[in-house]
Amino acid sequence: MGPLTLFTNIFSDPSLLPVQYPGRCLRRRLNTNQCQRCVSSCPSGAVTLNDREIVLNEKKCTGCMACTAACPQDALESEYDLNEFVHSCRGDSSIVISCARQKQAGPHEIVLPCVGILSNQVLSAILIMNSKSVVINVSGCAGCCNQVASDNFIQDYRQITECLAERITTKTTLIHNKEQLHDIIVDRRLYLTNIRNIVTKVTKKNLVFNPTVQPDEKDTTRRIPLKIRLFKNLVAELDSEARKNILKLFCPQLSINENCTVCPLCKGICPTGAIQIERAEGSKNLQFNSLDCSGCGLCVEFCKKNALSMY
């Protein structure tokens, strides 16, 4: 078996496919909910819906992980450890990030299944953390079966960097041409020698994966998605003014009008616990924590008084 065959066979490994957690799906939580963000984000048509069931066609799935970034409640999740990934991006050294389908640029490169796995929250966290520099290598994305996912990522990257222009603390660069990596890319003469090492680098054994947990063990009544927790932890390190600006840009906001009777419906349906009822001196008020909110919109949909709107 040649090295290129080895490289291709990596992606037939079912462990590199999204893992389903049905109990987290918004359609399961509210039977009238019509969310289909996972379907809309999938460029290969591998994700479909059967009433309240997510159906993943493993033969069609190309492992772009865009569905995991799109789902507000992690009903589809990668085994790749995003917490460790974000931690690896911190520090005084320059970081190069690329996907598992590209030739490795250097021994310390961080390899992702695909850049499609990076949600807006995770990307924002990278931009505002205190790192020296982060280079995201998308030079191999053109023509890839996951190009739609990478194109969407690039569009999100540009929008977020524009919004965060005054708050970005990490120098970030998108590399579209492999020649731009001339200082760190491995010599072309070593390609066939190193390809087996590259293959080893991106198999399940060596990618950073979450510990194996059965889906039903991670389904709970209240759960803040990992991408929200990562973003929340980074925002907590900002000064108050920066935190306020970031919240306005990237966190959902909930508007409550005079129709609200402070019934417990929105609090009960909220999957993250972002809505609470505060009681003081004989009165009740809704309290909303935007940092805990996934933006799923169930509270708005479930309110019988049309008292809520999310923006």
What confidence category does residue 3 fall into, taking pLDDT thresholds of 50, 70 and 90?
very low
End of a domain among 55, 78, 101?
A: 78
The pLDDT of residue 220 is 58
Domain membership of residue 271 as a residue range:
252-311
Task: Evaluate whether residue 301 is within a structural domain.
Answer: yes
Place of tokens 């419906």: 265
Share of the chain above pLDDT 70, in %: 81
Are residues 152 and 107 in contact, defined by beta-carbon separation less than 8 angstroms?
A: no
Instruction: Determine, yes or no, domain membership for 236.
Output: no
Number of folded domains that form the chain: 2
Q: Are 291 and 232 in contact (CB under 8 A)?
A: yes
Determine the pLDDT at residue 15: 53
Classify 211 in phi/psi space as left (phi over 0), alpha (psi -120 to 50) or beta: beta
Indicate the pTM of the whole model. 0.81
Mean pLDDT across the stretch 48-55? Answer: 94
Q: Which of 81, 70, 72, 79 is nearest to 43 (CA)?
A: 70
Residue 300 reports pLDDT greater than 60: yes
Q: Would residue 189 count as lying in a domain?
A: no
Structure-model confidence comparison of residues 177 and 299, the more confident one? 299
227 lies in some domain: no
* Domain-embedded: residue 265: yes
Residue 256 counted as domain residue: yes
Rg from Cα positions in the chain: 21
| CATH code for the domain in which residue 44 is found | 3.30.70.20
CA distances from 256 to 4, 127, 144, 164, 184 (A): 57, 32, 45, 28, 52
Residue 273 lies in a domain: yes
| Residue finishing a domain among 43, 78, 113 | 78
| Within-domain flag for 42 | yes
Q: What is the pLDDT of residue 194?
A: 39
pLDDT at residue 12 is higher than 50:
no
Last residue of a domain, one of 21, 44, 78: 78
101-148 confidence digits (pLDDT tens): 887 766 668 899 999 999 999 998 888 877 778 899 999 999 999 999
pLDDT tens per residue across span 230-242: 999 888 888 888 7
Task: Write the CATH number for 268.
Answer: 3.30.70.3270
Strands in 22-90 per DSSP E: 47-50, 53-56, 76-77
